[in-house]
Homo-oligomer: A and B are copies of this chain.
Amino acid sequence: MSIQKPSIPKGTRDFGPSQMAKRNYIFRHIRSTFEKFGFMPLETPTMENLSVLTGKYGEEGDQLLFKILNSGDFLKDVPEDKLKKDNAKALTFDIAEKGLRYDLTVPFARYVVMNQHEITFPFKRYQIQPVWRADRPQKGRYREFYQCDADVVGTDSLLCEAEIVLMIHEVFEKLQLSDYAIKINNRKILTAITEYIGAAGKESEFCVAIDKLDKIGLEKVNEELAQRGFSSEAIQKAQPFIVLKGTNEEKLSSLQATLGQLPSGEAGLSELQRVFDYLKAFGVSIPQVDFDITLARGLSYYTGAIFEVKVNNVSIGSVSGGGRYDNLTGVFGLPGVSGVGFSFGVDRLYDVLEELNLFPSEAHTSTQILIANFDSDSERFALPLLKKLREAGIRAEIFPESAKMKKQMNYADKKQIPFVLMAGPDEIASGQLGFKNMITGEQKALTFDQILALFN
């Protein structure tokens, strides 16, 4: 075996102890919030059959799926004439039956359909797992990254939308994030606007253009609408929507006047009103909630509420999104199951917390006490103490060799161990052990029981 310089696939990362501690800090808060709201964990396999995955993410998505080469003689059943250099695309499904999970939503839908007779609806599940996309890697975009999804399926109650807002708010509070917006919209309102201005079906083009208002100004927005094929009459009728301002309630009542007559408008506005009413009934005021009619993500599958969460004043602000879908499981043969859900992008939350310097030092759950190793006598003296520390629930270790003290201190330092306990010949004789605070550098002489008491 020749010696090779090892590397990892591009777009993937190792997470060493300090990154893991920070990631776990985020996961912990998300998980405990999801559970507090009655969501239960689910995990699905890393590999899914390609028949489950393909056709669900658009043509681009299909190309971004990582496919697994069939095991054994993968060419056995392939017709000879298909083995052509220019035939890779057609050959793919002959030699690969499985692919890596691309998101958590499709596997969830697959799970619901396969287990529909065992599941009690409404089914509230959360799922925290990595997904894989063969995207071109770039800053903030990886080929392996984690999603944290929570969904409720089997009810169209708008209480679920309100609780999603509450959960986002709670997670952000725990992470000490306050400067952010929970943008909310409703697909039906977008439909109504395009109907109202006589450009039905052009929700997406409309949103893309008017979303730029702050950046390019009204005149340029109108120009862009024209370029995107909106008639001048449509553009004129669209003006009140483009410049829509005010509180959420003001926006709702302003839209009531124009869209309230259209069935889709009436439905969308009253759904959104209901969500706000629920939040009020909970007795909470969440100023970050922002009704934004330019929000149009996931238009291909969302049928009601649409969510997006943006952290302000950071480089990559969008850290969460979701919405209601009325036919998630239809493609797998189970129609009529309405659901609503959202997803936290942990890698982005990580970058945001790092950028804002919001990771608390306690996030790092390292060893609490290192026992220095002087010689075999000191080692023998220390082992029963080590056992007692651990029995008291303290994360503790002894340096496994009687190395130079500088090396041992450096070890504690690098591993961010806050305390070092020293029991050399003098300390053993006197019973007064050395106890060094690695942050302040201060060293005290304490009995073992006094040290134990510090951690109670």
Nearest residue (CB) in B for A33 is: B390
With A6-B114, A152-B400 known as contacts, the answer to whether A40 contacts B415 (CB < 8 A) is yes
Q: Are B278 and A383 in contact (CB under 8 A)?
A: yes
Chain B contacts of A155 at CB under 8 A? 400-401
Note all chain B residues with C-beta closer than 8 A to A365. Answer: 35
A16 and B394 CA atoms in complex are apart in Å by: 33
How many copies the complex holds: the figure is 2
Q: Is A5 among interface residues, defined by CB-CB distance under 8 A?
A: yes
Closest residue of chain B to A370 (Cβ to Cβ) is B38
Number of residues of chain A lying within 8 A (CB) of chain B: 115
Give per-residue flags for A123-134: 1 if the beta carbon is below 8 A from chain B beta carbons, else 0: 011000010101
Docked CA distance A401–B157 (Å): 6
Q: Which of A71-79, A249-257, A316-324 contacts its partner?
A: A71-79
Hey, which chain B residues are within 8 Å of A439, CB to CB?
none
Q: List 16 A-B contacts (CB under 8 A).
A: A3-B332, A8-B48, A9-B97, A12-B46, A38-B367, A40-B366, A45-B144, A47-B143, A63-B72, A67-B68, A72-B88, A73-B89, A74-B88, A120-B411, A122-B401, A278-B383
User: CB within 8 Å of B: which residues of A?
Assistant: 1, 3-9, 12-17, 20-21, 24, 35-38, 40-49, 51-52, 55, 63-64, 66-69, 71-76, 78, 80, 83-89, 91-92, 95-98, 100, 110-111, 113-115, 118, 120, 122, 124-125, 130, 132, 134, 143-144, 152, 155, 157, 159-160, 278, 281-284, 330-333, 365-367, 370, 379-380, 383-384, 386-387, 390, 393-401, 410-411, 414-415
